[in-house]
Structure 1
Amino acid sequence: MQNLLRIAPGALTIGKPLPWTVYDADGNVLLRQGYVIQNDLQLEQLFERGLFQPRTIERPSDEVQEDVRLRNPFADYPVLLQTLESSLNAITNQDDSARQRVLGLSRMIDQMCQESPEASLALVHLYSIEPTIHEQILFYAILCQFTARRFGLDEKRTAVLLSAALTANLALVPVADKLNASSRVLTDEQRAVIRKHPERSVQALKESDITSPLLLKIISQHHEQADGSGYPLGLSGTDIRGEAEILALAERYVAMITKRAYRERMNIAEARKLIASLADGKFRPAIPRALLAILTEYPPGTLVRLANNEVAVIVRRPHRHRGPFAKAIIGPRGNRYSGTFERDCSQPDFNIVDVEQPEVMPSMDFGMLWGFH
């Protein structure tokens, strides 16, 4: 295997699934993507011995592609994050390529969500424990894609919304991870940075010659609220673009299901209940309804306990009058299965009885769970 690179310190985190498969110097698999590092010793050993294979994704073009394989969100995940980081850096540095980078990344995400919807939604939930700011931004874009399609936006408006989701928090990138890791109450200065980030992100885009009026309006309005309590202008009702509300709701949902230093994360049932409540005055009702419809009661990537006491991961939402589909990974007595077992949750033995909310996600082979080889 060629082009294996050493893992940089800081690239991996205890308690989070590996973002890519790790190899030894001979190209043998040490740990597959989805394995969760349990302690400092494992982390040290990976930094000493572990190598990974960087992946590149060709930007989609209008030409017919010979490669007709479905987009694999798990294999694409690391490079999507790298592409996002380089795209945001290009905007900050006023690079001539900035606009094309953002558009290309938006198309990649749209293609991934259309070709592999279950695995794309699973990404959001499997990596949601303590995501970095770049991971959060990627999650916003994925959720915006699904919600926009369900809400009825056409392709052009959806494309602009995805670009907005990727760039709206540009001004927060330097400070977001530090803020999320702090258990202290925000200072007045930090609150000011947060409140000004829509305007500062818009300014950075203009300076990089990204001037789409709809894009800039979505970003400037994505913290306004229908009841007039938002910022920076206190807009209300239909003065706020629907796209801005979709982005705002995606951000809210990700905040609900992610763990921060200053609070625990919500489980899916709690998050759904809170989203439903936002239809009463905070958002136009059709937008929370659209997000709830695409998530369903048990989104892909959710861990659940079944009636037979197995722990399973949801791999597919309800389909054609059948319940959600899961794969069992832990047996009734807590024993870890060496493989996985398919479970139709509409069957009495495999009905879902509870959502599991572990402090540390169990290790899984994501590619195997969702059928990617």
Structure 2
Amino acid sequence: MSNLVRIAPGALEIGRPLPWTVYDADGNVLLRQGYVINSDSQLEQLFERGRFKPRKIDVPQEEIFEDNRDRNPFADYAEFLQSLEATLTAITDRDASARPRLLGLCRMIEKTCREAPDASLALVHLYSIGPTIHEQIIFYAILCQFIGRQFGLEEKRISVLTGAALTANLALVPVANQLNASNKVLTDEQRRVIRRHPQRSIEALKAAGITNPLLHTIIAQHHEQADGSGYPDGLSGTDIRPEAEILALAERYVAMITKRAYRKRMTVSEARRLIATLADGKFRPAIPKALLEVLGEYPPGILVRLDNNEVAVVTGRPVRARGPFVKAIFGPRGNRYSGTFERDTSLLEYNIRALEEPEIMPSMDFSLIWGFRS
């Protein structure tokens, strides 16, 4: 197949789910998205034999762009990342396509979150162990969609908030992966880069012709805190836009559940307990509450152990009297099922006993588990 290209070294990592399906040179599937590479030799073989299908990223026309495809968050994941990278590059290059690219990506994420909410939230948790900066930014945008809507923001404000989530860390992109991988104390220069990044991101947006005042305000304020301890201006209380607090909380949640070189990642339960304390002076109380309501006790994409000792992946949040929707992937004795089996967690046999927090996620065919066509 002529549209397949080689996988570049560094594009894949041991212990992380594949972001896209991998093919051989003839177009035959080698490994599906969600498979976890577990050895150096396997990684080397993929670099030698593996190919993937790059998506052609068109520059959307600002007034007429409308993507009417049914959204599958797992199939779209690689496109999100490619489109984000192209958008941020266009902004830093002051390219005329910057604004329509940003608008198009915002609309694509909004449509995906509306059509496939549980699967969109699952992306955040399935890829949260060691995400790149571009992945983290996509997670911020997804969470802002849900928190903003739960908080009660009108749709136009949620759209601007999503744009802010995608661009607020523009100035940090070149150094973010390096900072996350370091277990050393930050230098004074690194601290200056971090503190200046909101203003530098705004300057880049203005230079690219993206001049929405609310967008700039959200970015400028997303490290302020309600008790006045934030930066850059030490704002407090209602001087801070709720959109800025929503973005700040989305960033904080992703940081909690993400592994860093200098600390372990939190379990979802630990993160939920910490979020509950943030209503005490750091945020408007309604914003942490909105995130907790969005996530539920067992958010989609996490693994749980059932009372019959099966291990299952949570595929959907509770509906009415029924508990979270799950699909069993490991049997009671630890054997991997060849398929998946939906379990009703409201039944005693399938009650959720505990969270499973593996250091490496098991391989899964995400589209199949969530019922999408590959």
- Give the TM-score normalised by the residue count of structure 1: 0.97
Q: Residues 14-163 of structure 1: matches in 2 within 5 Å?
A: 14-56=14-56, 59=60, 70-163=70-163
What is the SS of the residue equivalent to 1:81? helix
Give the deviation of 1:142 after TM superposition: 0.1
Q: Which runs of 5+ in 1 are unaligned?
A: none
Q: Does the alignment pair 1:283 with 2:283?
A: yes
Q: Does the alignment pair 1:245 with 2:254?
A: no
Give the deviation of 1:188 after TM superposition: 1.3
Give the deviation of 1:55 after TM superposition: 2.8
Mapped to 1, the partners of 2:52 and 2:103 lie a distance apart of 28
Mapped to 2, the partners of 1:311 and 1:47 lie a distance apart of 32
Residues 321-373 of structure 1 show CA distances to partners (whole Å, capped at 9, x for unaligned) of 21001001111111111111111111111111111111111000001110011
Cα 1:117–1:62, aligned 2, differ >3 Å: closer, same or farther? farther
Between the two proteins, the alignment pairs up a number of residues equal to 372
Give the deviation of 1:65 after TM superposition: 7.1
Q: Residues 266-305 of structure 1: matches in 2 within 5 Å?
A: 266-305=266-305
Residues 151-204 of structure 1 show CA distances to partners (whole Å, capped at 9, x for unaligned) of 111111011000000000001000000000001111111111111111111111
Q: Is the 8 A contact 1:144 1:250 kept in 2?
A: yes
Give the deviation of 1:70 after TM superposition: 2.7
Mapped to 2, the partners of 1:344 and 1:44 lie a distance apart of 41
Q: Is the 8 A contact 1:311 1:331 kept in 2?
A: yes
| 2:258 match | 258
Cα 1:126–1:110, aligned 2, differ >3 Å: closer, same or farther? same
Cα 1:103–1:340, aligned 2, differ >3 Å: closer, same or farther? same
| 2:178 match | 178
Q: Is the 8 A contact 1:60 1:107 kept in 2?
A: no
What is the SS of the residue equivalent to 1:328? strand
| 2:195 match | 195
Mapped to 1, the partners of 2:227 and 2:89 lie a distance apart of 35
Name the aligned partner's letter for residue 34 of structure 1.
Answer: G
| 2:334 match | 334
Name the aligned partner's letter for residue 329 of structure 1.
Answer: I
Name the aligned partner's letter for residue 90 of structure 1.
Answer: A
Q: Is the 8 A contact 1:218 1:244 kept in 2?
A: yes
Mapped to 2, the partners of 1:124 and 1:315 lie a distance apart of 13
Mapped to 2, the partners of 1:261 and 1:351 lie a distance apart of 35
Q: Does the alignment pair 1:361 with 2:339?
A: no
Farther off after superposition, 219-228 or 7-16: 7-16
Residues 34-76 of structure 1 show CA distances to partners (whole Å, capped at 9, x for unaligned) of 0000011000000001111123477598779795x53001011
Give the deviation of 1:147 after TM superposition: 0.5
Q: Report runs of 4+ in structure 1 exceeding 4 Å deviation.
A: 56-67
| 2:207 match | 207
Q: Is the 8 A contact 1:70 1:116 kept in 2?
A: no
Name the aligned partner's letter for residue 71 of structure 1.
Answer: R
Farther off after superposition, 20-29 or 125-134: 20-29
Name the aligned partner's letter for residue 337 of structure 2.
Answer: Y
| 2:169 match | 169
Farther off after superposition, 218-227 or 199-208: 199-208
- Give the TM-score normalised by the residue count of structure 2: 0.97
Q: Report the aligned-residue RMSD.
A: 1.5
Mapped to 2, the partners of 1:228 and 1:319 lie a distance apart of 39
| 1:318 match | 318
Q: Is the 8 A contact 2:16 2:361 kept in 1?
A: yes
Sequence identity (%): 73
